[in-house]
Structure 1
Amino acid sequence: MDDTAMEMVGVVLCGGRSVRMGTDKGLLPIGDKTWAQHVYERLGVVVPSVVLSVNAQQADSYRAVLPYAECVVDNDQLPIGGPLHGLLSVHLRHPSANLLVLACDMVAMQEILLQYLVKCFVDKPCPALVYEYDGYPQPLCGLYSRLALATVTGWAVTEGLANHSMMHMLDLVEATRLPHGTDYDDCFSNYNHPDNL
């Protein structure tokens, strides 16, 4: 596989509605940063370029907090919703890149796991590579190939996808699951409600 095929862009998924949390999770504080900044910097250690995936209502807020970051707003030409909308929108902006994705609320994720994900993908390319935690794939911490993303985008545009879930996408592209050591279980915590904080 050539260098172009191995181009990688990190994606901080921030476009959720945060209904259960009651406020935009990516803008919550962690130390002197926001969650989105924290995850952005974590990805930036692993890949040379990182973008923020946001919806149209969030764009100005994120540009104010991270003025140096590229914000990719959900593409309204894609007839889908949820995190998959954000992922495919970034793919349309960066079609030659494989995308390393991390949700903005996975603030406990460690660089070593992200680096290992990239290494495994480079060593043995596949349509998508995600960690498995507690018997389930973790689609919001994963690496998605440009070819798989192009295929799913094509399906979404021409045929429509009845199921917009990331789990369904993993099945469609026959994603590879990657185990991890139990020492890293805490890395897969995400926070959906104020009681989780």
Structure 2
Amino acid sequence: MLGIVLCGGQSLRMGTDKGLLSHQDKLWAQVAFDKLNSLNLQVKFSVNPLQQETYAGYFGNKQLIVDDPSLDVRGPLLGVLSAYLSNPEEDLFLLACDMLLMEIRLLEKLIYSVKADDAFEAYIFTKDGQQEPLCGIYKVEGLKKIVHLLQTNGLAKHSMKYVLSNLRVCEIAIEDQDYRYFSNFNSHAEINGL
């Protein structure tokens, strides 16, 4: 299994690259990396071509997976499929770089879920019945299915929630006291309270 820190978004509302913002003297991308790394995973950063040079300066080119220009998709799915195509034998453990408060014990819960029952193609949390697709484990067979749908024009939408609707998904309901760990920060106003 390969850990993937999703950093390739446009960060339009924030107005600056979220992965390169600092929290407690660490880049947001590094915070997410450290959490996935603590699970004994090899971890890489998913970035878009415009970010490659800057992120290589911080983390080295070997740590990066740059969006595949041959894929006709946008958004997080582009990063996910680019990571899959460059590592087709690896299940992917995704974590968005803006889920700053995520706790390692919750990430461990996903790994336990896979070990307990590996019959699913994706393992994610749900909050109030809504899927949280950017913190989850996506297995090779599910990713292969999505690439096939894309290649055969069977992927009507490119949202991660639509992708999940095509997979066998293990959903883990988030308990009320854990809701805050799933916050993602999109604007300066949202991070002022940190």
TM-score of Structure 1 vs Structure 2, range by shorter chain: over 0.9
Of 151, 164, 169, the residue aligned with 2:163 is 169
* CA distance, structure 1, for counterparts of residue 174 and residue 136 of structure 2: 13
> TM-score scaled to structure 1, two decimals?
0.92
TM-score normalized by the length of structure 2 = 0.94
Amino acid at match of 1:196: E
CA contact (8 A) 1:80 1:161 kept: no
3-state SS of the aligned residue for 2:32?
A: helix
Q: Which residue of 2 aligns with 1:3?
A: none
- The alignment status of 1:38 with 2:25, answered yes or no, reads no
Instruction: Tell which deviates more after alignment, 66-75 or 126-135.
Output: 66-75
Task: Report which stretch shifted further, 83-92 or 127-136.
Answer: 127-136
Deviation at 1:191, TM superposition (A): 0.5
Identify which range, 131-140 or 62-71, moves more after superposition. Answer: 62-71
Does the aligned pair in 2 maintain the 1:79–1:160 contact within 8 Å?
A: no
Q: CA deviation at 1:160?
A: 5.3
Structure 1 residue 35: Cα displacement: 0.1
Contact 2:129 2:173 (8 Å CA) reproduced: no
The alignment status of 1:110 with 2:110, answered yes or no, reads: no
The count of corresponding residues between Structure 1 and Structure 2 is 190
* CA distances 1:77-108 after superposition (whole Å, capped 9, x unpaired): 11111100100100011111111100000010
Q: 2:93 aligns with which of 66, 85, 100?
A: 100
- 1:13 pairs with 6, 10, 13, which one? 6
Gaps of 5+ in 2: none
Equivalences for 1:13-162 in 2 at 5 Å? 13-67=6-60, 70-125=63-118, 126-159=120-153, 161-162=155-156
Q: Contact 1:10 / 1:47 at 8 angstroms: preserved in 2?
A: no
CA RMSD of aligned residues (A): 1.3
User: In 2, Cα distance between the equivalents of 1:65 and 1:187?
Assistant: 26
SS of 1:10's equivalent in the other structure is: strand
Tell me how far apart the structure 1 counterparts of residues 62 and 134 of structure 2 sit (CA, whole Å). Answer: 20
**2:19–2:27 contact (8 Å) kept in structure 1:** yes
TM superposition shift of 1:154 = 1.5
- 1:72 deviates by 0.3
d(CA) in 1 for partners of 2:164, 2:186: 22
In percent, how many aligned pairs have the same letter? Answer: 37
SS of equivalent residue, structure 2 residue 166: helix
Q: Deviations over 1:113-154 (max 9, x none)?
A: 001101111221111010011221100001101100011011
2:179 & 2:74 partners in 1: Cα distance? 29
